[in-house]
Amino acid sequence: MSALCPQPLAPLFTPVAMAHYFATGIPSSYIVCENDRAPVPGAPNWHPHFSSRLRNSTLKFIKSGHEVMFTHPIECAQALHDLAIAKA
C-alpha cells in the first residue's frame, strides 16, 4: 500500500477519438483482474467497462485485485508475456 498514490480519474473518462487507431489494425490485449473492485464511477469494475471498448482484443484473466503488479507480479509478467506471444 505504501507504493500507491492518488490518480486523477479525468484521463479515464475523457473521450478519445479511436477511428485512426482502429484503422491501423494494431492488435490489442487486456489483462482482466477478476477480483478488481477499484471504484470507477458508473462501472462496477474495470472489466468489461474498459476492455469492451477494444475491438478483437485478446483477454488474459488473473484472479487478483486491481494492483496485480504488486500482489501477483509473476502471474502479471506471465500474462504480459503470453499476450505478447499471442499477438506476435
- Looking at the chain, the whole-number percentage of residues with pLDDT higher than 90 is 34
Residues in contact with 31: Cβ distance below 8 Å, sequence separation at least 6, in sequence order: 59, 60, 61, 62, 68, 76, 79, 80, 83
Check residues 48 and 80 and name the one with the higher pLDDT: 80
Q: What pLDDT does 88 receive?
A: 67
Would you place residue 41 in the very low, low, confident or very high pLDDT band (cuts 50, 70, 90)?
Answer: low
Check residues 73 and 23 and name the one with the higher pLDDT: 73
Nearest to 59 by CA among 67, 69, 51, 68: 51
Residues in contact with 40: Cβ distance below 8 Å, sequence separation at least 6, in sequence order: 9, 12, 46, 49
Note the pLDDT tens digit of each residue in 51-77.
888 888 899 999 999 899 999 999 999
Q: Tell me the Cα Rg of the chain.
A: 14
Region 11-39 average pLDDT: 86
- The bridge status of strand 58-62 relative to strand 29-33 is parallel
What's the whole-model pTM score? Answer: 0.75
